[in-house]
């Protein structure tokens, strides 16, 4: 966790993610990335030179049967207020609309719900658990699937909502996130989504893993190229 927090601090300072008095909503899906992000940000409040407050927010997708008690207990230990926002996103996508390619619509609906939840909690920023591997995968998905050069930004200001999205783990490898999560024995709530593990992102993850056998440090080189080009705020 110390290594991860060091990388996070470097990213937070490099991209000026936090200003004094920020109230940050952390999107907590229950996966390894979000619970590790929440834990790290909660612990960094003790020593980070810029003061900030945290709120933890989980979107209940409406699939039913999800046990959020482990997340509630984690937030209690971290002294972070925890909010569960009910939504009907799951049934809308898989039952009402029967989407064949559900991920894009689901992401848009989740973003909107998270934005509304953050505003209701008087937060001015939202922290998401994207890491370096996510950024590289997004870059190549945009290139291969959409024929464009682009990626999500480390910091994104949403003028319509007056919210800023930050990604503090954006310079951390996924393996470091996994290691921190396991060493701290953090609770991971299984994703109930029927599309989990069979998405385009998983295919891209597998492709990049294969390419790195022949092209050493492909992920590092890709991020470096994005930074040198100043692509999308990198």
- Reported as a single tens digit per residue, the pLDDT across 182-234 is 999 999 987 777 666 567 888 999 999 999 999 999 999 999 999 999 999 99
Q: Cα 19 to chain center, whole Å?
A: 20
- Reported as a single tens digit per residue, the pLDDT across 45-97 is 999 999 999 999 999 888 777 899 999 999 999 999 999 999 888 888 777 77
Residues whose CB falls within 8 Å of the CB of residue 48, separated by 6 or more in sequence, listed in order:
9, 12, 18
Q: What are phi and psi of 98, to 5 degrees?
A: 50, 50
203's tokens: 């295919």
How much is the pTM? 0.92
β-partners of residue 72 are: none
Q: What are phi and psi of 189, to 5 degrees?
A: -95, 125
């Amino acid at each position: 966790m110390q290594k991860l927090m060091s990388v996070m601090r470097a990213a937070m300072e490099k991209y000026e993610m936090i200003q004094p008095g920020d109230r940050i909503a952390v999107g907590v899906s229950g996966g390894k990335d979000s619970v590790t992000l929440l834990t790290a940000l909660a612990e960094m409040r003790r020593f980070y030179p810029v003061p900030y407050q945290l709120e933890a927010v989980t979107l209940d997708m409406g699939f039913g049967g999800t046990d959020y008690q482990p997340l509630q207990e984690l937030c209690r230990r971290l002294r972070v207020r925890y909010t569960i926002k009910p939504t009907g996103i799951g049934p809308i996508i898989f039952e009402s609309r029967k989407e064949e390619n559900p991920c894009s619509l689901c992401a848009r609906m989740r973003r909107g719900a998270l934005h509304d939840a953050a505003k209701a909690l008087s937060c001015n920023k939202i922290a998401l658990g994207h890491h370096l591997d996510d950024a590289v995968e997004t870059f190549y998905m945009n290139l291969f699937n959409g024929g464009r050069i682009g990626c999500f930004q480390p910091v994104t200001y949403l003028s319509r909502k007056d919210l800023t999205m930050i990604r503090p783990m954006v310079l951390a490898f996924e393996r470091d996130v996994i290691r921190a999560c396991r060493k701290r024995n953090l609770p991971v709530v299984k994703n109930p989504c029927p599309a989990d593990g069979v998405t385009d992102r998983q295919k891209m993850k597998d492709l990049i893993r294969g390419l790195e056998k022949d092209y050493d440090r492909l992920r590092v080189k890709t991020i470096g190229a994005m930074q040198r080009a100043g692509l999308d705020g990198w």
